[in-house]
Chain A
């Protein structure tokens, strides 16, 4: 599936993801006062076609935020349209959500999830990565080429909030050059 990583590196990367996503899930669970379940992290290198397909879903909202530092890339948060109202309610937003409060909710959720994921990840690898604020984007309105994380390492995890229909995926896309840095950091950890 991915020849880029040795079995040991894959295991380590998956476990690091587990730990950072566990933190993100905890942050979300505390915010909404409900249990959050996590999928097993998926680590893949994607082709441009697969990447474009991922951005082709009309049942979800997308946010993106870039990060800079030892490793560079972008975090995409994919949030289901279904269940936004019930999450809003759990977070004391006034429902039904109007356009502005919906944006606010989506950006807040994205920032919490992506922030906890990335910081947990970078911290364990002793790398620094500074995350920008998220923006909502509409891939349908853009050339996929503008989303230029088309053929590189992608790490993905899915969050589901129990007792609501809401689910979300966080996708960390790394620049090719960042993949090398990441592998070196992983190897240090495995020594």
Chain B
């Protein structure tokens, strides 16, 4: 059974970058979301066992998504991939239960290490 994975980022280039960085032999079914609302829809319809989440997005930002998931005790594994790398952003993301905070531009190796740590690959 492929693992349902959602990539939430308003930038097409960044969504592509995540796709490219995923291990080629990892059996996944990918859903793309362009904003936080779409990301939550994906989670609620069971399409996001793993969620790659950008922070700066229209409609609902990444913090909003994390807050919702946190309040609803969702089991989704969230890996934040952000251009906002200030200590304050990291602190907030950690407090809202994200598994990892990765900086953009995304390094494929770092992403694979992270997936390995979660036990996903």
Contacts and interface: CB of A to CB of B under 8 A. Distances in A.
Interface in B1-38: 11-14, 16
A18 B13 contact: no
Contact of B86 (A11, A36, A124): A36
Contacts, number: 45
Contacts of B84: 22, 25, 38
A22 B13 contact: no
B11 A11 contact: yes
Contacts of A190: 13, 16
Nearest to B88: A35
Interface residues of B, number: 15
Given A18-B56, A22-B104, A124-B105, A8 B12 contact: yes
A22 B12 contact: no
Contacts of A151: none
User: Most B CB atoms within 10 A — which of A11, A18, A25, A189?
Assistant: A18
B101 to A, nearest CB: 13
Interface string B63-76: 00000000000000
B105 A22 contact: no
A14 B11 CA distance: 8
Contacts of A57: none
Interface in A1-58: 8, 11-12, 14-15, 18-19, 21-23, 25-26, 29-30, 35-36, 38
User: Most B CB atoms within 10 A — which of A19, A36, A38, A189?
Assistant: A19
Contacts of B83: 15, 18-19, 21-22
A15 B81 CA distance: 13
Contacts of B86: 22, 25-26, 29, 35-36
B52 to A, nearest CB: 15
User: Most A CB atoms within 10 A — which of B83, B85, B105?
Assistant: B83
A29 B88 contact: yes
Contacts of A11: 11-13
Contact of A15 (B14, B85, B87, B88): B14
Contact of B85 (A8, A23, A189): A23
Contacts of B13: 8, 11-12, 15, 189-190
B87 A19 contact: no
B95 to A, nearest CB: 15
B85 A22 contact: yes
Contact of A19 (B16, B88, B105): B105
6 contacts: A12-B11, A18-B11, A18-B83, A22-B84, A35-B86, A35-B88
Given A11-B13, A38-B84, 13 more contacts: A11-B12, A12-B11, A12-B12, A18-B11, A18-B56, A19-B83, A21-B83, A22-B82, A25-B84, A29-B87, A29-B88, A35-B86, A124-B105
